Chain A
Amino acid sequence: MKRKDKRPQRESSANPKSRERREARPPARPAKAEKRGDGRAPAPSAARAEPKGKGGPSNPKRKARRTGRNREHTPARPEGPRLHLPPPPFSPSSGVIDERTAAVEAGLGDTEVDSEEAFELGIGARVVPPTTQYGEAFDSTPPPVHERKGDVEAQIRALEARLDGLIRQRHFADATTETESDEPVSERRGALAKTDSSPPVRLEPAEPPVEDFISRKWGRSALRSRAEEFDDFGLDPNFEQRVKPVVEFLYRSYFRTTAEGIDNVPAEGRCIVVANHSGALPLDGLMLRAALRIDHKQKRDLRWLAEDFVYYLPFAGVFMNRVGAVRACPENAERLLEKESIVGVFPEGVHGIKKLFQERYRLQRFGRGGYIRLCLRMRAPIVPCAIIGAEESSPLLYRLEGLTELLGLPYFPITPTFPFLGPAGLLPAPTKWRMRFGEPINLDNYGPEAADDHVLVGRLSERVRSSIQAMLDSGLRERRSVWFG
């Protein structure tokens, strides 16, 4: 509240001229009421649209500091349009104000749209951020669409289209007239307060704004390589893009993976891929995802469910999340299936990855059949999958159980190379991998209520397990060499 009190003073001190203008304007209150009635909708939509843009509504000053130029804002322009509200850095606002808003104002001045008229038409609504005055800010819901006057709306649309043209035009003009920006802050502020006249802006479609390039290159440079939009489960598309070459190398060249019967995975709709789990360093989830990405006709997106213990570990949990793993729990799996995506499940869980080399390709128990319940509830088909070769790539010779408590790991792996070669020992051996996808198992003839039938769930789970075991056995019989398949 204190902050709120301070604002008006600042505003008035920052830009006396604009204040005069505002006072000169006829009754402020009715105009605002009008704005609320008609121009309410643009404000939130503008606020919504902004952050997705390239540069986004970053603080102009900050950006200017970073980029070393501040040409994207009116202030730096020696000859600019008359501003009728204080420019962004000193406006009382703190909402989503950015160059675009400033440009809207600027454009208004240029095109002989009377600022009064514009204000009443609701264009001013963009200028006053939605959160400074609580009365308007918290006006809860957008006004009903049917109540809007058709003609006013049309006018607004037309004006907006015109302004968009102007904004683009302005970017272009700004980019061509190179302005310096290394003056100190105080001087720049002087420039901000300066009101001046500018040559009339031509209304032509402009070239793509150069500013885009700048903001891509310098704006929020820290985020350059990281996505700003993450999906619900923490997958980072940009990060994935960066590790993609590594994953593809592993998939194609290192493990020389072949995916047989991958067409058994449906081309669309939800589905659960059930596979055997293996390896001291489990890469099978990542490879399963890569298989569907690379070899499936529809390039389907598989998310695999990872064991809980991963998320207790530093780095591992974050890494797994960023490349597509999801913590294994019914809520997450249901949410994924509701989005009609493919879920990769390793029902053996931790027991799968901590089995010793001598137990390889012998499937452990399939948990309590949670995945079967999931399928029954969500009506998703099951595609059994046998992964051959993965169990030899990082064979577990011995597991130290004593260290588990200390390290928070379910087991401490001893492989032929780890820990004797240090972290490098965790590198998997280049065995030949074969993935076999079986015929989809459809559980549609059981209703969702069957999920509560423990006997049935156990039986179905066993059926899936034995089909995967059979695929494993036949695959192993056919295999002649661990290294060459």
Chain B
Amino acid sequence: MSNSLTSSHSLTLAEQGRLGVPQTRRRVVAVTGAAQFLGSNLIGLLEEDPNVRKVVCLDSEAPTTAGAKSRVYNVSLTEASAEERMAEILSAEAVDVMVHLAFLDSPSHSTAFAHELESVGTMHVLNACRRTKVHKVVMRSQTLLYGAHPTNPNYLSEKHPLRARRSEPFFADKIEAENEVLRFGRPGQGRIATVLRIAPMLGPTVDNFVTRYLSHRLTPTVLGFDPLWQFVHEADAVRALRLAALYDVPGVFNIVGDGVLPLRTVIKLAGRTTLPMPRSVASGFTTALWLTQFAEAPPAFFDYLQYICVADGALARKELGFEPLYTSREALIDYANAQHLRDVRLLSETPA
């Protein structure tokens, strides 16, 4: 563990000079959204990393993984004074790298709060970084932002425009935030912005709307459509964030697992039953369910059950040195196994 940074793969990339500035001093990394899934796991990983001097955890609650290296601050990005407070903390702790993870994993009913957190909160974070010596921001984004369209190529490259429905606040806020971050890292200012567009995460411990979608006994699909899906394992996602935080590689990267699976196969591998519905019926049905808070996503997400939205991870492999350990299929199976254990336990806890 002690020398995970000098492992063979990263070393070769570093030797080739692709990974930018050599590490002269150990870094101080700040993490927003530190108590969430990605944040807390990243902190756990950075805690053990010898190249990190300090981890500054920024969230409204303390991460469970904070250790000796961590400094935990209670910061709420939705407050008006967030920028001031962040700037104070960042300069007091001499933060080098900001890893911005304070985004909602799943669509939320409180769209106003989501907007404050994601779009406005990103602005607060970036302004605080501009006021201090933070030279680099890493942002977590999603491949879902490419949008599902029948005209998508089978593998979307990072150059592809983000075509998710802007009418859906879940996408609109994240696209705005991503644009802000890319503006922050525009060349010529001596600052670096790395955006990781992460495919839907699956794994034994992660909880998001995709895992909840796949945990239904009857999983709704759109009749006559069977798009290809891809996933990334939660461990791979966290590893990618670590790489992005420790190496200065500006740009946008798709973080995806290898391989694709049709949706019906996904659902069957997860051990569920498909419930095919015509789109027109399904959207009305889902609107009602969403409004009554029984569905995990608004009807705009039916696009993803209908059309393809699959990204190409070649650039991350080449420039970031990110090799996924799990394929899409293995991530799914890892998730499904954990889910089955959960199901069994539930059954044994509530005999019926």
Chain A residues with a Cβ under 8 A of chain B: 1, 3-4, 10, 33, 36-37, 44, 47-48, 50-51, 56-59, 61-62, 89, 93-97, 129-132, 134-135, 137-146, 185, 220, 222-223, 226, 228-230, 232-234, 236, 308, 311-315, 317-318, 326-327, 329-332, 335
Task: Please state if A59 and B341 are interface contacts (CB–CB under 8 Å).
Answer: yes
Closest B residue, CB atoms, query A62: B340
Task: Please state if A138 and B239 are interface contacts (CB–CB under 8 Å).
Answer: yes
| Residues of B233-285 contacting chain A, CB below 8 A | 233-235, 238-239, 242-243, 259-262, 264-265, 268-269, 271
B interface, how many residues as a size bin? 35 or more
Task: Please state if B224 and A144 are interface contacts (CB–CB under 8 Å).
Answer: no
Task: Please state if B153 and A331 are interface contacts (CB–CB under 8 Å).
Answer: yes
B218 part of interface (Cβ distance < 8 Å): no
B106 part of interface (Cβ distance < 8 Å): no
Q: How far is the CA of A139 from the CA of B1 in the complex (A)?
A: 7
Tell me, rounded to whole Å, the shortest Cβ–Cβ distance linking B112 to chain A. 26
- Max chain B CB contacts within 10 Å: which of A44, A137, A141? A141
Instruction: Return the contact of A311 from the options B203, B243, B307 (Cβ within 8 A).
Output: B307
Task: Please state if A96 and B45 are interface contacts (CB–CB under 8 Å).
Answer: no
Q: How far is the CA of A232 from the CA of B156 in the complex (A)?
A: 12
Task: Please state if A59 and B344 are interface contacts (CB–CB under 8 Å).
Answer: yes
Q: How far is the CA of A97 from the CA of B238 in the complex (A)?
A: 22
Task: Please state if A138 and B153 are interface contacts (CB–CB under 8 Å).
Answer: no
Interface window among B80-88, B125-133, B174-182, B327-335: B327-335
Give the 9 A-B CB pairs with smallest separation, nearest first.
Answer: A314-B224, A94-B338, A331-B153, A94-B204, A59-B340, A311-B150, A144-B8, A141-B7, A315-B224
Tell me, rounded to whole Å, the shortest Cβ–Cβ distance linking A218 to chain B. 14
Q: How far is the CA of A458 from the CA of B264 in the complex (A)?
A: 43
Task: Please state if B44 and A135 are interface contacts (CB–CB under 8 Å).
Answer: yes
- Max chain B CB contacts within 10 Å: which of A140, A308, A329, A331? A140
Chain A residues near B151 (CB-CB < 8 A): 308, 311, 327, 329
Given contacts A51-B330, A234-B260, A317-B150, contact A3 B44 (CB under 8 A): no
Given contacts A59-B340, A94-B204, contact A234 B268 (CB under 8 A): no
- Max chain B CB contacts within 10 Å: which of A89, A222, A228? A222
Chain B residues with a Cβ under 8 A of chain A: 1, 4, 6-11, 37, 40-41, 44-45, 47-48, 64-65, 150-151, 153-155, 157, 203-205, 207, 222-226, 228, 233-235, 238-239, 242-243, 259-262, 264-265, 268-269, 271, 307, 323, 325-327, 329-330, 333-334, 336-338, 340-342, 344-345, 348
- Max chain A CB contacts within 10 Å: which of B4, B41, B203? B4
Instruction: Return the contact of A51 from the options B203, B223, B238, B329 (Cβ within 8 A).
Output: B329
Chain B residues near A327 (CB-CB < 8 A): 150-151, 153-154
Chain B residues near A142 (CB-CB < 8 A): 7-9
Chain B residues near A141 (CB-CB < 8 A): 4, 7-10, 239, 323
Given contacts A1-B40, A96-B333, A141-B4, contact A131 B205 (CB under 8 A): yes
Task: Please state if A140 and B344 are interface contacts (CB–CB under 8 Å).
Answer: no
Chain A residues near B8 (CB-CB < 8 A): 141-142, 144-146
Chain B residues near A59 (CB-CB < 8 A): 271, 336-337, 340-341, 344
Task: Please state if A131 and B203 are interface contacts (CB–CB under 8 Å).
Answer: yes
Task: Please state if B41 and A134 are interface contacts (CB–CB under 8 Å).
Answer: yes
Chain A residues near B234 (CB-CB < 8 A): 131
10 examples of A-B residue contacts, CB within 8 angstroms: A3-B207, A47-B334, A48-B330, A95-B204, A130-B325, A131-B205, A138-B238, A141-B7, A311-B307, A314-B225
Chain A residues near B44 (CB-CB < 8 A): 134-135, 138
Given contacts A223-B265, A230-B228, contact A135 B326 (CB under 8 A): no
Task: Please state if A138 and B45 are interface contacts (CB–CB under 8 Å).
Answer: yes
Instruction: Return the contact of B269 from the options A10, A228, A318, A326 (Cβ within 8 A).
Output: A228
Closest A residue, CB atoms, query B7: A141
Task: Please state if A318 and B40 are interface contacts (CB–CB under 8 Å).
Answer: no
Q: How far is the CA of A134 from the CA of B238 in the complex (A)?
A: 10
Closest A residue, CB atoms, query B242: A140
Q: How far is the CA of A37 from the CA of B4 in the complex (A)?
A: 10
Chain B residues near A236 (CB-CB < 8 A): 262
Task: Please state if A230 and B268 are interface contacts (CB–CB under 8 Å).
Answer: no
Closest A residue, CB atoms, query B267: A222
Closest A residue, CB atoms, query B222: A314
Q: How far is the CA of A232 from the CA of B311 in the complex (A)?
A: 11
Q: How far is the CA of A144 from the CA of B336 in the complex (A)?
A: 31
Instruction: Return the contact of A1 from the options B1, B6, B64, B235 (Cβ within 8 A).
Output: B64
Q: How far is the CA of A232 from the CA of B259 in the complex (A)?
A: 7
Chain B residues near A44 (CB-CB < 8 A): 325
Closest A residue, CB atoms, query B10: A141
Task: Please state if A138 and B7 are interface contacts (CB–CB under 8 Å).
Answer: no
Instruction: Return the contact of A226 from the options B242, B265, B341 (Cβ within 8 A).
Output: B265
Closest A residue, CB atoms, query B271: A62
Tell me, rounded to whole Å, the shortest Cβ–Cβ distance linking A100 to chain B. 13
Q: How far is the CA of A228 from the CA of B270 in the complex (A)?
A: 12
Q: How far is the CA of A4 from the CA of B203 in the complex (A)?
A: 13
Chain A residues near B41 (CB-CB < 8 A): 134, 138
Q: How far is the CA of A234 from the CA of B225 in the complex (A)?
A: 12
Closest B residue, CB atoms, query A185: B348
Instruction: Return the contact of A137 from the options B235, B259, B271, B307 (Cβ within 8 A).
Output: B235
Task: Please state if A230 and B262 are interface contacts (CB–CB under 8 Å).
Answer: yes
Given contacts A134-B41, A134-B44, contact A331 B157 (CB under 8 A): yes
